[in-house]
Chain A
Amino acid sequence: MREMTADPYLGKYITCVSARSTDKEILKKAQDGGIATALMVYALEEGIIDGTIVAGEGDRPWEPRPIVAMSREDILKARGTKYSISPQIAWLKEATRSFGLDKVGVTGVCCQMQAVRKAQLYPINMRDVPGKVALTVGLFCMENFPYKSLQTIVEDHAAQSLGSVKKMEITKGKFWVHTERGNVSTVPLKATHKYEQPGCHVCLDYVSSLADISTGSVGSPDGWSTVFIRTKKGNEVWSKAVAAGMFETKPIEDVKPGLELLTKLAKEKIDKNRKTLEERRNFGVNKALRDPYA
Chain B
Amino acid sequence: MEMLNSIKKTVGGEGKPTQVATEKKMEATMEAKPVANKIKLGHVHLSGCTGCLVSTADNNLGFIKILDNYADLVYSLTLADVRHVPEMDVALVEGSVCIQDHESVEEIRETREKAKIVVALGSCACYGNITRFSRGGQHNQPQHESFLPIGDLIDVDVYIPGCPPSPELIRNVAVMAYLLLEGDEDQKALAGKYLKPLMDLAKRGTSACFCDLMTEVINQGLCMGCGTCAAACPVRAITHEFGKPQGERDLCIKCGSCYGACPRSFFNFEVIDEFEDISEIIAEALK
Contacts and interface: CB of A to CB of B under 8 A. Distances in A.
A114 B263 contact: yes
Contacts of A129: 166
Contacts of B248: none
B28 to A, nearest CB: 33
A115 interface: yes
A290 B242 contact: no
Interface residues of A, number: 53
Given A89-B228, A198-B221, A210-B273, A121 B278 contact: yes
Contacts of B268: 293
Interface stretch (A26-34, A90-98, A159-167, A182-190): A90-98
A264 B53 CA distance: 51
A122 B220 contact: no
Given A90-B231, A115-B228, A199-B225, A127 B164 contact: yes
Contact of B230 (A85, A87, A108, A200): A87
Contacts of A66: 227
Given A122-B197, A289-B220, A147 B232 contact: no
Interface in A178-214: 197-204, 209-210
A125 B100 CA distance: 30
Interface stretch (B32-40, B71-79, B110-118, B253-261): B253-261
A210 B263 CA distance: 13
B7 to A, nearest CB: 15
B226 interface: yes
B222 A131 contact: no
A88 interface: yes
A197 B220 contact: no
B279 A121 contact: yes
Contacts, number: 165
Interface string A225-237: 0000001100000
A86 interface: yes
Interface string B268-287: 11011101101100000000
B240 A125 contact: no
A135 B58 CA distance: 25
Interface string B238-255: 001011100000000001
Given A92-B231, A131-B168, A125 B242 contact: no
Contacts of B162: 123-125
A94 B240 CA distance: 15
Interface of B: 1, 55, 58, 161-169, 172, 194, 197-198, 216, 220-228, 230-234, 240, 242-244, 255, 257-258, 260-261, 263-269, 271-273, 275-276, 278-279
Given A122-B172, A127-B167, 4 more contacts: A115-B227, A119-B231, A123-B166, A293-B269
